[in-house]
């Protein structure tokens, strides 16, 4: 756990979390269903390091598909491929995607301290789908607000999803810690006026995250609970 700007004496009222790479490890499952979905369009399977880089850049599924499918991608092809990949992911994640160790303990710790929990994700899924996922994992009862990128105008690194999450939590953004695993998460948090925390469990290497000077960097979610103590 390394610090550049401390949270000491800050009025922390909420913690806003990214999902993929921060709360749950979805990468291997997503890579599998992504490659299953694109093969029918003549694309070759995408290597882990390539897909991970695309996700770390905060690219949308449409932008990724434009990079890897042969020839231009029209709206109908994109829509069909997107639905196919998302349906495959929904089915696979039920049995294969779990929260990172310590997630429920952290949520319980925050709740006991009266700190609200929000979710601000780059996913283009519906709000209802995300509530269903968190309820299935047994975490829904801890969460006060979920905002997906489908509900705002601009995706991360724009601050829209974080600003909207803070609004739904009914707290000023500057009283929130926003934690994510990518450069886009750090930039979005900073632009929203939130404290920016990074975690090294996801798509980016620690040295890359440190270049963006997050307020603090954690190696696991358990570090956050210890730090708040």
Same domain, 37 and 148: no
- 60 backbone dihedrals φ, ψ, rounded to 5°: -75, 165
- Residue 39 pLDDT: 87
Torsion sign over Cα 99, 51, 184, 130: negative
pLDDT given for residue 10 in this prediction: 74
Are residues 72 and 104 part of one domain?
A: no
**215 plus 121 within the same structural domain:** yes
- What pTM, to 2 d.p., does this model score? 0.85
Dihedral sign, Cα of residue 132, residue 106, residue 160, residue 97: negative
Are 114 and 166 members of one domain?
A: yes
d(CA 21, CA 183): 12
CA dist., res. 93 & res. 29, Å (int): 7
Q: What domain count does the chain have? A: 2
| 212 and 128 in a common domain | yes
Query: Same structural domain for residues 216 and 106?
Result: yes
Res 5: pLDDT? 44
Domain that holds residue 162: 2-25+98-228
Q: Check whether residue 56 and residue 14 sit in a common domain.
A: no
pLDDT at 4: 41
CA 89-141-117 angle, to 5 degrees, is 85
**44 and 84 together in one domain:** yes
Is residue 88 domain-shared with residue 107, that is, in the same domain? no
pLDDT (0 to 100) of residue 1: 52
Task: Quote the pLDDT of residue 224.
Answer: 87
With a cut of 70, list the residues of the chain below it in pLDDT.
Answer: 1-9
Tell me, what's the pLDDT at 35?
94
pLDDT at 9: 58
Shared domain for 173 and 224, answered yes or no, is yes
**Domain shared by 49 and 140, yes or no:** no
Cα–Cα dist 124/225, whole Å: 29
Of 42, 68, 96, which residue is a domain's last? 96
Say what the pLDDT of residue 207 is.
Answer: 94
């Amino acid at each position: 756990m390394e610090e550049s700007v401390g949270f000491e004496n800050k009025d922390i009222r909420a913690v806003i979390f990214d999902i993929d790479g921060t709360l749950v490890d979805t990468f291997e499952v997503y890579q599998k269903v992504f490659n299953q979905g694109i093969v029918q369009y003549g694309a070759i399977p995408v290597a882990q390091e390539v897909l991970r880089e695309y996700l770390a850049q905060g690219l949308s599924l449409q932008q990724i598909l434009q990079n890897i499918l042969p020839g231009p991608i029209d709206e109908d092809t994109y829509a069909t491929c997107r639905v196919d990949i998302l349906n495959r992911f929904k089915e696979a994640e039920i049995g294969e995607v779990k929260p990172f160790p310590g997630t429920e303990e952290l949520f319980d710790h925050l709740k006991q301290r009266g700190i609200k929990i929000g979710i601000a994700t780059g996913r283009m899924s519906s709000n209802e789908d995300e509530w269903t996922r968190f309820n299935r994992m047994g975490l829904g009862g801890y969460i006060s607000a979920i905002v997906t990128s489908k509900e705002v105008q601009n995706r991360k690194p724009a601050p829209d999803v974080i600003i909207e999450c803070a609004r739904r939590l009914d707290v000023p953004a500057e009283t929130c810690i926003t934690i994510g695993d990518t450069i886009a998460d750090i930039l979005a948090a900073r632009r929203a006026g939130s404290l920016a925390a990074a975690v090294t469990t996801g798509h980016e290497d620690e040295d890359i995250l440190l270049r963006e000077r997050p307020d603090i960097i954690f190696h696991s979610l358990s570090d956050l609970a210890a730090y708040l103590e």
